[in-house]
């Protein structure tokens, strides 16, 4: 297999894990790097650097299942040395690099990309940009990358890779969810892709870090917390706030919010609790407590797992509303008690 010895060296010497596919296949585009950089130094403007990028984790899970080798790099302040990041990527010998970027880190992402391309010595590595900046500012971004991915990336990236590996009978403009420049440098958008309904289709997201110093949040931390980890319970938001990108990227209203299967959530928590000593979970949801029925079902599953001693005391925090915990203008005491018992 390509780069087998190099993979072994990286696994033993670099603080970043390579997820090597067990599927034996011959693909022109096989080694996929997923990168989140530009949040440190002068570019650092977020209070969420300790929150590992689960979007890359979900993309990585899909790629691994589909037979690709995956390297995920996320630059963390005070932890990662940029020289190590660059050397790791060069050593991995990527065929395609997918960058994730908010607008505030876009300049830092381009700076990193330029430096990396110098070190790759002209190797034709395919570049993709995903995340909020790609979706909301495609005209500003397209000239720097081969492709931009709009909104959710799992199915779009999967189909694009099939196209690049000549394993699908589709034209590029038939792959929904893409922006690219045609031969006349005209920006092409292939159209919106249907929202992903089964968020657990490819399994739990790939994770790198299990020793985060904190949650990156402002919520009080109980004394018995032994470890932190981000978790996704749902995607999308019912609201249509003028300042938010969700309306444009995922729509709004009840149909825009997609919940995970409570049983799959409990299994993910169980693994993180028992294998990595994590008992504090902070959600990446826009409003994880909005849906009363979902919170009720999730609470039932978590209580069942605790009763069977599959895990002990856990904490779930994140951005949520009190909508589920009020009914007919009064506190929904049964649900409040049940949710408290689930934690």
d(CA 305, CA 164): 44
Residue 7: is its pLDDT beyond 90? Answer: no
Residue 10: is its pLDDT beyond 80? Answer: no
d(CA 131, CA 123): 25
The two tokens of residue 57 are 């984790």
pLDDT tens-digit readout, 155-164: 999 999 999 9
pLDDT tens-digit readout, 162-199: 999 999 999 999 999 999 999 999 999 999 999 999 99
d(CA 257, CA 236): 4
pLDDT tens-digit readout, 16-41: 678 888 887 778 899 999 999 876 54
What sign does the CA torsion over 162, 164, 168, 172 have?
positive
- Taking the CA atoms of residue 194, residue 265, residue 47 and residue 177 in that order, the dihedral angle to the nearest 10 degrees is -10
* Strands 178-181 vs 187-189: parallel, antiparallel or unpaired: antiparallel
In the beta sheet, which residues pair with residue 19? 70
Q: Taking a C-beta distance cutoff of 8 angstroms, is the pair 100, 131 a contact? A: yes
User: What pTM was estimated for this model as a whole?
Assistant: 0.89
d(CA 282, CA 279): 10
Report the pLDDT value the prediction gives residue 24, as an integer from 0 to 100: 77
- Give the range among 120-124, 169-173, 195-199, 250-254 with minimum mean pLDDT: 250-254
Instruction: Give whole-number Cα distances, 18 to 68, 101, 282, 288, 341, in Å.
Output: 11, 21, 25, 31, 38
User: What average pLDDT score do residues 51-73 get?
Assistant: 91
User: What average pLDDT score do residues 250-267 get?
Assistant: 88
pLDDT tens-digit readout, 82-100: 888 899 899 999 999 999 9
């Amino acid at each position: 297999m390509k780069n087998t010895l190099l993979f072994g060296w990286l696994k033993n010497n670099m603080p970043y894990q390579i997820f090597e596919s067990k599927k034996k296949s011959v693909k022109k585009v096989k080694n996929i790097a997923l990168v989140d950089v530009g949040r440190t130094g002068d570019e650092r403007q977020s209070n969420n650097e300790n929150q590992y990028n689960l979007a890359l984790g979900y993309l990585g899970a899909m790629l691994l299942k589909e037979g690709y080798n995956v390297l995920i790099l996320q630059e963390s302040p005070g932890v990662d040395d940029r020289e190590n990041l660059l050397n790791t990527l060069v050593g991995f010998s990527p065929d395609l690099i997918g960058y994730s970027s908010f607008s505030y880190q876009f300049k830092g992402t381009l700076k990193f990309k330029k430096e990396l391309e110098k070190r790759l010595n002209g190797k034709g590595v395919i570049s993709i940009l995903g995340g909020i900046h790609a979706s909301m500012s495609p005209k500003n971004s397209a000239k720097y990358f081969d492709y931009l991915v709009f909104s959710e990336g799992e199915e779009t990236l999967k189909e694009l890779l099939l196209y690049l590996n000549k394993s699908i009978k589709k034209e590029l403009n038939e792959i929904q969810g893409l922006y690219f420049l045609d031969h006349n440098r005209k920006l092409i958008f292939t159209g919106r892709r249907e929202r992903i309904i089964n968020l657990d289709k490819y399994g739990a997201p790939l994770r790198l870090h299990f020793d985060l110093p904190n949650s990156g949040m402002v919520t009080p931390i109980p004394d018995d917390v032994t470890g932190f980890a981000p978790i996704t319970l749902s995607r999308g938001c019912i609201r249509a706030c003028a300042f938010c990108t969700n309306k444009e990227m995922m729509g709004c209203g009840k149909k825009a919010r997609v919940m995970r299967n409570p049983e799959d959530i409990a299994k993910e928590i169980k693994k993180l609790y028992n294998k990595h000593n994590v008992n504090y979970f902070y959600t990446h949801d826009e409003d994880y407590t909005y849906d009363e029925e979902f919170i009720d079902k999730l609470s039932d599953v978590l209580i069942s797992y605790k009763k069977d001693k599959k895990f002990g005391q856990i904490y779930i925090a994140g951005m949520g509303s009190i909508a589920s915990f009020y009914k007919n203008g009064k506190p929904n005491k049964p649900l409040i008690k049940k949710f408290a018992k689930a934690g």
